[in-house]
Amino acid sequence: MLNLDFPSVMTILISGLCTGGVYGLFASSFTFQCGSLNITDFSFGSWLMLAMYMTFFMYTEWHIGFVPFIIALFLCYFVISFLISRFMLSKRDEFTNMIITMGISLVIQNAAILLFSSSPRSLGIIEKTINIGGVQIAQTKLIMLILSAVILIGFQTFLNKTWTGKTIRAVIQRKEMAYLLGINSDRVKNLAFAVSYVMLAASGIMLIILFSVEPTVGGFYQMMSFLICIIGGLGNLKGAFFSGLLVGVLIAVLNMFSSQFAMVLLFLIFAIILVARPRGLFALKSH
């Protein structure tokens, strides 16, 4: 029987909240692709896994500067995803895109097994904690939560305030009208897809700091992305982030009672939410 005092419970809940922030960040990228760009990307989890591996090797073997690595990783993900969108996904129907991205996912996963083996890898960072009235707050997890929120706010500011961001929104909302105004809609969508992959790469960097990585972990994060997006409402960035926080807390609570059945119970709750609110808890109002 559980015998948890208030500080212990709060420690677990805050830990889940911080982890949920990272979930919310990569789910926001996924919901932007699915809800705004109408691209169902089944290679999303594999690219996330690959970013985790790249960060792991940067830290343990390559010993290059963190800032140069981030710049290089973001640039690589931006260019590769732009090319994938431009030459493989653009102007194809949704079903074909699903098949193509599934194929890309299988290639990445099997390449990871071949190159990295199936053994889990982790950075093994020793966590420092802040003690507030007996409540233990992990500094690294707290930083990840803050960074996730800052990145998402930055992305929304980019969409709402910059000329490029407003162009992306125009293409998403009125593609035909944007075309009549002389905007290359396909190029803008490719750009938006590439920007979402930069958010994905940032999520991968944060995930390897918190968790271990293995070639098959991409499937779990793909599943989590889908679950969080549905709860938050498809295409709703804020909803995805708040849903990520909710899922992080739920997992922490469920693990307190039964770690063996935590994911089963989570999907049961997901099914109940889906029946009660088919458009999600934070679905955007239609005008």
The CB density around residue 139, as the number of other CB atoms within 10 Å, is 12
Q: Which of 213, 209, 198, 201 is nearest to 53 (CA)?
A: 213
For residue 190, the model assigns a pLDDT of 92
Average pLDDT, the chain: 88
pLDDT at res. 33: 92
State how far the Cα of 5 lies from the Cα of 82, in Å rounded to an integer: 50
Maximum separation of any 2 CA atoms in the chain, in Å: 66
Percent of the chain residues topping a pLDDT of 70: 95
What does the alpha-carbon distance between residue 193 and residue 108 come to, in Å, rounded to a whole number?
Answer: 19
Per residue in 200-215, pLDDT (tens digit) is 999 999 999 999 999 9
Average pLDDT, integer, range 13-42:
91
Q: What whole-number distance in Å separates Cα of residue 274 and Cα of residue 22?
A: 23
Residue 3 has pLDDT above 70, yes or no: no
What is the reported pLDDT for 1? 44
Task: Using the predicted structure, report yes or no on whether residue 94 has a pLDDT greater than 70.
Answer: yes
Contacts of 17 (CB under 8 A, 6+ apart): 145, 245, 248, 249, 252
Residue 179 pLDDT > 80: no
| pLDDT tens digit sequence for 200-255 | 999 999 999 999 999 999 999 999 999 998 888 888 889 899 999 999 999 998 88
Determine which of 19-23, 129-133, 194-198, 241-245 has the lowest per-residue pLDDT on average: 129-133
- C-alpha 236/C-alpha 241 separation (Å) is 9
What are the φ/ψ torsions at residue 132 (nearest 5 degrees)? -125, 100
Q: Which residues pair with 137 in a beta bridge?
A: 130
Beta bridge partners of 132: 135
Q: How confident is the model at residue 2 (pLDDT cuts 50, 70, 90)?
A: low
Higher pLDDT, residue 103 or 175: 103
| 285 has pLDDT over 70 | no
Domains and CATH numbers, the chain: 6-276 (1.10.3470)
